[in-house]
Structure 1
C-alpha cells in the first residue's frame, strides 16, 4: 500500500515538473513553423480540402495566403484529388457487408522561381465502414463523416510536410 502511494506521488511530481518546464510534443499545439512567409494554394474555390487547409494556415499567423501566384514565396500545386469506395467484403448471400473508403491527394510545392521544394507527394487515407441495408441513410451520413475525418487528417499531414521543407 505504501509503495503505491510513493509511486503515485512520484508520477505526479514527474508530470508536474514536465508541465512546469513547458514540455510539449512537437506540433501538438497545431502550430507549425513554415519555411516561407506566403503561399499560393491551387485549389478550386469550392474545394472543402482547400478551405480547411487555408483555415489551418491562417490560424498559425505566420503564413499569408496569396490570391496571386506571382506574389507568393511558395506555390502549392494540386496534381490530383480523388475519393474512392470499394467493396471490402460480402456476406453469405453475396451482399455487401463492408466498404473501404479512400481519399487520395497528390501535390507538389514550388518556390517563386519554379524550383521544386517538395516533389510530387501522394497521401492516401483509408477507412473501413460496415454496411447494413436496413440503415442506408445512417450509413450514408457515417460515410460523409468518415470523409470529413479523413480530410482533417489529410490537412494535418499536409501541414507537417510543408513544415518539413528545407528553408528557402
Structure 2
C-alpha cells in the first residue's frame, strides 16, 4: 500500500517536471511579439494611451519608431478615444453603488501612399468598480487606478491585434478544414 503511494507521487512529480521542461505554454502567452513592419511612424491625436503605447513599443523592441512618415514603412494612427462611466447598480436608497468604466480607442494602419492597409482596429476595455459616496477619496483613487489598468489592457490588445491582423499572416491557403 505504501509503495503504491510512493509510485503514484513519483509519477505525478515526473509528469509535472516533463510538462514544465518541454516548454509548455498557452497560445499567445509567450509575449514574443514582433510587429510585421520594420519601421512605424506613430500618429496620436489626443489619446491618453499614446505615451505608454509608444513606451511599450520601444521597451518590448516590437519595431523601430521613426520621426517622420516618409521614412516609415507604415503610419499607425491612434485616434477616436472614448471614455465612458455608466452607473451599473444602485443601493437600497437609490444611490449609485457601482460604475462600469468603458475605454474605447481606434487604430488605423496606412502605407506610404496613405492607403489604409487593413480595417480599423477598434479596442474596447471595460471594468466595473464599486462606489461608496461616503468614501469619495478612496473611490476616486480606485477609479484612477482602474482607468490606468484599462489603458494598459487597451495597449496590449492593440499590440496583439496589429501583430496578428497583418494581411500576410492571414492566409486562406494555409487553413485546414476539419473532416
Report the alpha carbon displacement of residue 57 of structure 1 after superposing the two structures with TM.
1.3
Question: Gaps (5+ residues) in structure 2?
Answer: 170-179
Of structures 1 and 2, the one scoring higher in RCO (CA 8 A, sep 6+) is: 1
Q: Provide the C-alpha distance between the structure 1 equivalents of 2:11 and 2:161, rounded to a whole number of angstroms.
A: 38
Q: CA 1:163–1:15 in structure 2 vs 1: closer, same or farther (change >3 Å)?
A: farther
Q: Provide the C-alpha distance between the structure 2 equivalents of 1:4 and 1:144, rounded to a whole number of angstroms.
A: 52
Q: CA 1:92–1:41 in structure 2 vs 1: closer, same or farther (change >3 Å)?
A: same
User: Map of 1:75-114 to 2, 5 A cutoff?
Assistant: 75-114=75-114
Q: Provide the C-alpha distance between the structure 2 equivalents of 1:49 and 1:9, rounded to a whole number of angstroms.
A: 50
Q: Deviations over 1:73-132 (max 9, x none)?
A: 121112301211111122222211111111001121122233333311211111111111
Higher strand share: 1
Q: CA 1:112–1:94 in structure 2 vs 1: closer, same or farther (change >3 Å)?
A: same
User: Map of 1:17-166 to 2, 5 A cutoff?
Assistant: 17-44=18-45, 48-164=48-164, 165-166=166-167
1:36–1:167 CA contact under 8 A, matched in 2: no
TM-score by length of 2: 0.80
Question: Gaps (5+ residues) in structure 1?
Answer: none
Report the alpha carbon displacement of residue 28 of structure 1 after superposing the two structures with TM.
2.8
Please say which structure displays the higher CA radius of gyration. Answer: 2
The 10-residue stretch of structure 1 (30-39 or 143-152) with the greater mean CA deviation from structure 2: 30-39
Aligned-residue CA RMSD (Å): 2.3
